[in-house]
């Protein structure tokens, strides 16, 4: 039952002490019930309010009603009770403050911290960076371009005219709803990083030396050696008097820097619409050292026992490609150049002895942490 201030009829010392003790005990009991900020406010108002608060009532009922001879002692008791009540309320306020702090910010600084795992470079990203670094040392700069391309940059300006049979070799992923546009403006996911060659030549006058790393897409169902998304690095060098000898010397140097100074290079004729003549570059197998055999006479699978691994396609830039950027200083009668392109994922597979390209893109930490 809630405490109410009694009227005093007995002003003896014992009676005054008893009344004061009951008052402070009631205040202590009510303070222990305070839980929330609202509890604290009503508790403080009930006891401290100037108009009709309990301390005001104590003052009015006890002190003003005291007989003349008891006034002094009653005044002392009332002041003691007021001080005790003020002290109880003060403590209740502090306790409430501590409770609210604890609720929003409980922090045990003696607990051990949470150790975050340290990440590692993805094997494909690392291989790409290593290849780019080899060419940067030769003075090449890095160029990048959009993954969603137009038909013009992906095919036409690279000497694949509409209906060119070479388009069939690249199963292209087209963006839907483009039929109303002229063919050269239709959007697709780039099938190679070569569009960046044209984009760069539109912006920069010769001489240029660039490498172009990036993701490309083809409509290949995923299996152990195919992925609809994969990575390429292309290179392009254009200047006056660039010859096939420059191409061979540059790539021979790059392969030795990537796979070791003992590898030999070997060029075989090939065809690409944007280079003429074109070649495929082979290096001696860096797994079996060119013997075609593994330990115990086991066949070397990566090179199919031939001792050679195809690494990239290359060739002299077709003069027809320069015609598309002729106005920016690329007159095919005055400049020449070479280009090359390689699949980064395949090289990473070979380098790390991984037998399934899907492992690179499944995001399985158990696989990836082996490269940390």
Query: DSSP class of residue 155?
Result: T
Nearest to 360 by CA among 252, 254, 261, 230: 230
Shortest separation between residue 350's beta carbon and Zn ion, angstroms: 9
DSSP, residue by residue, 239-288: ETT--HHHHHHHHHHHHHHHH-TT--EEEEEEEETTEEEEEEEEEE-TTT
The span from the CA of 165 to the CA of 123, in Å, is 35
Q: Which is nearer to Zn ion, 292 or 329 (CB)?
A: 292
Return the number of the residue (305 or 320) whose C-beta is nearest Zn ion: 305
What is the Cα–Cα distance from 73 to 92, expressed in whole angstroms?
A: 29
Rounded to the nearest whole angstrom, what is the least distance from the CB of residue 124 to Zn ion in the complex? 22
CA angle 78, 84, 86 (to 5 degrees): 100
Q: CB nearer to Zn ion: give 184 or 351.
A: 351
Q: Which of 215, 305 has the CB closer to Zn ion?
A: 305
Task: Please tell me what DSSP assigns to residue 144.
Answer: -
CB of 352 to Zn ion, least distance (A): 15
Place of tokens 């009344």: 19
- Terminal alpha carbon distance of the chain: 70
Residue 213 is classified by DSSP as: E
CB of 254 to Zn ion, least distance (A): 20
Rank residues 253 and 294 by Cβ distance to Zn ion and give the closer one. Answer: 294
Q: How long a stretch of residues is the chain?
A: 372
d(CA 11, CA 14) in angstroms, rounded, equals 8
Which residue's Cβ has the minimum distance to Zn ion?
Answer: 285
Binding residues (CB under 5 A) for Zn ion: these are 285, 287-288, 300, 303
* Minimum separation from the CB atom of position 295 to Zn ion (A): 12
Nearer Cβ to Zn ion (290/337): 290
Rounded Cα–Cα distance for residues 208 and 152 (Å):
22
Nearer to Zn ion, 277 or 302 (CB): 302
Q: d(Cα 299, Cα 320) in Å, to the nearest integer?
A: 44
Least distance to Zn ion from the beta carbon of 285, Å?
A: 3
Q: How far is the CB of 298 from Zn ion (least distance, A)?
A: 11
DSSP 8-state symbol, 293: B
Closer to Zn ion by Cβ: residue 249 or 299: 299
Smallest gap from Cβ 289 to Zn ion, in A, equals 8
């Amino acid at each position: 039952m809630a405490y109410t201030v009694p009227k005093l009829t007995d002003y003896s010392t014992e009676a005054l002490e008893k009344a004061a003790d009951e008052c402070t005990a009631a205040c202590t009991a009510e303070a222990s019930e305070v839980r929330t900020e609202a509890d604290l406010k009503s508790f403080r108002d009930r006891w401290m309010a100037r108009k009709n608060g309990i301390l005001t009532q104590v003052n009015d009922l006890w002190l003003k009603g005291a007989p003349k001879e008891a006034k002094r002692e009653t005044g002392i008791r009332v002041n003691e009770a007021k001080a005790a009540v003020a002290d109880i309320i003060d403590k209740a306020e502090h306790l409430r403050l501590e409770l609210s702090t604890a609720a929003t910010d409980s922090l045990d600084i003696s607990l051990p911290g949470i150790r975050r795992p340290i990440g590692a470079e993805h094997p494909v990203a690392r291989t790409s960076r290593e290849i780019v670094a080899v060419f940067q040392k030769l003075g090449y700069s890095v160029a990048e371009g959009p993954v969603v391309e137009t038909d013009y940059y992906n095919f036409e300006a690279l000497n694949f005219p509409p209906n060119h049979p070479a388009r069939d070799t690249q199963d292209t992923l087209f963006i839907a709803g483009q039929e109303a546009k002229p063919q050269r403006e239709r959007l697709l996911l780039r099938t190679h990083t070569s569009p960046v060659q044209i984009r760069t030549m539109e912006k920069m006058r010769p001489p240029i030396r660039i490498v172009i790393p990036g993701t490309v897409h083809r409509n290949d169902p995923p299996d152990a050696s195919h992925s609809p998304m994969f990575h390429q690095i292309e290179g392009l060098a254009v200047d006056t008097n660039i010859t096939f000898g420059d191409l061979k010397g540059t790539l021979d140097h790059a392969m030795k820097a990537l796979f070791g100074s003992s590898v030999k290079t070997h060029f075989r004729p090939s065809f690409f619409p944007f280079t003429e003549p074109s070649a495929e570059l082979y290096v001696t197998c860096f797994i079996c050292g060119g013997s075609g055999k593994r330990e115990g006479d086991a066949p070397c699978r990566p090179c199919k026992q031939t001792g050679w691994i195809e690494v990239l396609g290359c060739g002299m830039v077709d003069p027809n490609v320069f015609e598309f950027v002729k106005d920016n200083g690329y007159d095919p009668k005055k400049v020449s150049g070479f280009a090359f392109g390689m699949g980064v994922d395949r090289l990473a597979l070979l380098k790390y002895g991984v037998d399934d390209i899907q492992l690179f893109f499944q995001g399985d930490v158990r696989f990836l942490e082996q490269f940390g």
